[in-house]
Amino acid sequence: MKVSPSLLAANFADLTPDLEMINASEADYLHMDVMDGVFVPNISFGFPVIKSVSKICNKPLDVHLMVVDPEKWISAVSDAGGYIMNVHLEACRHLHSTVHLIHDAGMKAGVTLCPSTPVSMLVDIIEDVDLVLLMSVNPGFGGQPFIKNTLKKVRELRALIDSTDSHALIEIDGGINETTGSELAAAGADILVAGSYVFGALNPIERISILKAL
């Protein structure tokens, strides 16, 4: 299993120790949640923080934009050091165009679905994207309980990917711990995002290893 710890649960007053922990861990990526207070009812951090983090963190940055009109920010994410740019399907007017502009900027393109958005919405974009991020909580906050219906969506998405020429990875975000993580592994997930499960632990490196082993 690939693991993408979510910085949202880190210590914003002093990120360096948390980033050094990530560098020393088995994490595959660092997940960074950008929120605009419009698409979601919360505001987190923006591009200057991503840029500063990219100078210390040696893992590829998995940037999750919870903002309206994310196509406006493609060059900002790229300039800040983004590796994957995840945009919400619900926030894009022209998703096909946005995905290709993300590729033109040299990044991997991810499309994200809220819990109530069906996997069938991806049928005509699945071969163009590098990753699908399924939200297993309503976006905006860490520490929420996992929505069980996500397991059905992962199985549907796995079937859609396997029935096409898509090479998309399946990433899941929200309420992940060793229990929900092992259910997601069995359902066909490739990447687990975990915020409070990792950063809320006394031994976060061990928590990352537990998820890696699923």
- Left (φ > 0), alpha (ψ -120 to 50) or beta: where does 69 sit? left
Q: Please choose, out of 42-50, 100-108, 119-127, 169-177, the segment that lies near Zn ion by the rule CB under 5 A.
A: 169-177
Given the residues 33, 36, 62, 190, the one annotated as active site: 33
173 is catalytic: yes
Candidates 28, 62, 130, 173; catalytic one = 173
Rank residues 65 and 109 by Cβ distance to ligand DX5 and give the closer one: 65
Q: Which range of residues in 52-60, 83-91, 168-176, 179-187 is near ligand DX5 by CB under 6 A? A: 168-176
DSSP lists the bridge partners of residue 64 as 33, 86
Element (H, E) at 205: helix 204-212
Determine the Cα–Cα distance for residues 174 and 160; give it in Å rounded to an integer. 22
Q: Of the two residues 88 and 99, which places its CB atom closer to ligand DX5 in the complex?
A: 88
173 lines the binding site for ligand DX5 (CB under 6 A): yes
Distance (Å, rounded) from C-alpha 74 to C-alpha 99? Answer: 10
Give the number of other Cβ atoms within 10 Å of residue 47's Cβ. Answer: 17
Q: On the CB side of 28, how many CA atoms lie within 13 Å of its CA?
A: 14
Tell me if 36 contacts Zn ion by CB under 5 A: no
Query: Does residue number 173 form part of the binding site for Zn ion (CB under 5 A)?
Result: yes
* Closest chain position to ligand DX5 (CB): 195
Supply the DSSP string of 98-153, one letter for each residue.
HHHHHHHTT-EEEEEE-TTS-GGGGTTTTTT-SEEEEESS-TT-SSPPP-TTHHHH
Which of 28, 61, 63, 64 lies at the binding interface for Zn ion (CB under 5 A)? 64
Q: Is 33 a catalytic residue?
A: yes
* C-beta closer to ligand DX5: residue 130 or 173: 173
User: Is residue 176 near ligand DX5 by the rule CB under 6 A?
Assistant: yes
Q: Which stretch binds Zn ion (CB under 5 A): 35-43, 52-60, 62-70, 99-107?
A: 62-70
Q: What is the largest CA-CA distance in the chain?
A: 46
Using CB positions, name the residue nearest to Zn ion.
64
Interface residues with Zn ion (CB under 5 A)?
Answer: 33, 64, 173
Known catalytic residues are 33, 173
